[in-house]
């Protein structure tokens, strides 16, 4: 595991810089996946194995196949804007690389299944300013190009993340968060909590006739719970937003490309927080 500065978006180009020899496959599940694909195209051929763009990314595409001759398949495990998530470690016939920026440490993962995992830290791990990358060392150094020193994962592996002065305070905050996760039962406990939170909030979304979820049920993210007003209550969107804010809800406005609301339920979110949102939805329902 190495620690980098620069943000997960820098990995969008570092991954192909280091791993793309000729052709790479990408699963297009949202804006982050698209950005990653865009950068990969500078380095070789990119195959989009499947996309749910036509349905505004409301589901994770299924039933796709990966060409056997690609150097890797890239997936984005959680899609913050659309509220979808790949919560199982996929079995694929090619090396697997995953952007886990927004759901790493929310469940156990089978690290062996991935040639590379990267994650910006600012959801479940640390303050913004550090990215973690887990990489199979033996897969590095195969790409047919000269890589600038700072963009070569080998530099950071060889120097123990200290080729340059690392972002010390963000890394320290990661250490403290990892201690907190461990003390609270590890990723298994984080997973259980995530499921409890999701049951509370999705439960209310499904019960309350004024609201509806945006993602298909089987692909619902446990990290970002996205919902909108039901069609017959559409004109009340702003009213509910104001009401929620007045009840102390912070950051519940959905991304502009989806609209509605987003309840972000990262590891730090409490059951009490979820119950408060549900109480707020019930009270709004009673008023109308």
List residues binding a second copy (CB under 8 A): 4-10, 12-13, 17, 35, 38-39, 42, 120, 122, 127-130, 146, 148-151, 163-170
Task: Kindly tell me which of 8 and 249 has the beta carbon lying closer to a second copy.
Answer: 8
**Burial, 238: exposed, middle or buried (Cβ in 10 Å; 0-12, 13-18, 19+)?**
exposed
- DSSP letter (8 states) at residue 253: B
Name the minimum Å distance from CB 35 to a second copy.
7
Q: How far apart are CA 198 and CA 107, in angstroms?
A: 13
H-type alpha helices, the chain: 8-19, 31-40, 153-158, 168-183, 186-207, 237-246, 271-287
Catalytic one among 115, 123, 152, 191?
123
Q: How far is the CB of 148 from a second copy (least distance, A)?
A: 3
Least CB distance from residue 110 to a second copy, whole Å? 28
Comparing CA positions, the residue from 266, 277, 268 lying closest to residue 78 is 266
Active site residue 32: yes
Minimum CB–partner distance for residue 230 and a second copy (Å): 33
Q: Does residue 113 have an active-site annotation? A: no
Work out how close the CB of 90 gets to a second copy at its nearest, in angstroms, rounded to a whole number: 26
Active site residue 139: no
> Is the separation of the CB atoms in 35 and 9 below 8 Å?
yes
- Point out the catalytic residue in the list 71, 99, 103, 219: 99
The smaller minimum CB distance to a second copy, of residues 220 and 262, is found at: 262
CA distance 275 to 279: 6
Sheet holding 131-135, edge to edge: 2-4, 131-135, 116-120, 96-99, 73-76, 23-28, 45-51
Please tell me whether residue 4 adopts helix, strand or coil conformation: strand
66 or 116, CB closer to a second copy?
116
Nearest to a second copy of 143, 205 (CB atom): 143
Would you say 126 or 193 has its CB closer to a second copy? 126
Residue located via tokens 């990358």: 133
Catalytic residue set: 32, 99, 123
């Amino acid at each position: 595991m190495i620690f980098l500065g620069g943000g997960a978006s820098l990995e969008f180009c570092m991954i192909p810089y280091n791993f793309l020899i000729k052709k790479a496959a990408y699963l297009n599940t949202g804006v982050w996946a698209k950005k990653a694909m865009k950068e990969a195209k500078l380095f070789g051929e990119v195959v989009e194995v499947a996309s749910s763009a036509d349905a505004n990314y409301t589901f994770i595409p299924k039933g796709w196949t990966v060409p056997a001759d690609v150097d890797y398949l890239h997936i984005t495990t959680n899609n913050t804007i659309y509220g979808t998530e790949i919560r199982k470690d996929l079995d694929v016939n090619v090396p697997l690389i995953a952007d886990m920026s927004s759901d790493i440490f929310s469940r156990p993962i089978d690290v062996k299944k991935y040639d590379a995992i990267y994650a910006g830290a600012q959801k479940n791990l640390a303050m913004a300013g550090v990215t973690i990358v887990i990489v199979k060392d033996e897969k590095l150094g195969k790409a047919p190009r000269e890589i600038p020193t700072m963009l070569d994962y080998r530099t950071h592996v060889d120097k123990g993340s200290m080729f340059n002065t690392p972002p010390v305070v963000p890394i320290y905050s990661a250490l403290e968060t990892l201690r907190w996760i461990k003390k609270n039962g590890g990723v298994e406990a984080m997973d259980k909590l995530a499921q409890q939170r999701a049951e509370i909030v999705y439960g209310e979304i499904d019960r309350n006739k004024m609201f509806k979820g945006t993602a298909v049920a089987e692909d619902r993210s446990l990290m970002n719970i996205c919902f909108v007003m039901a069609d017959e209550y559409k004109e009340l969107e702003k009213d509910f937003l104001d009401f929620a804010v007045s009840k102390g809800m912070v950051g519940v406005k959905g991304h502009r490309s989806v609209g509605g609301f987003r309840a972000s339920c990262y590891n730090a979110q409490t059951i009490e927080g979820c119950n408060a949102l549900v109480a707020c939805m019930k009270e709004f329902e009673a008023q109308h």
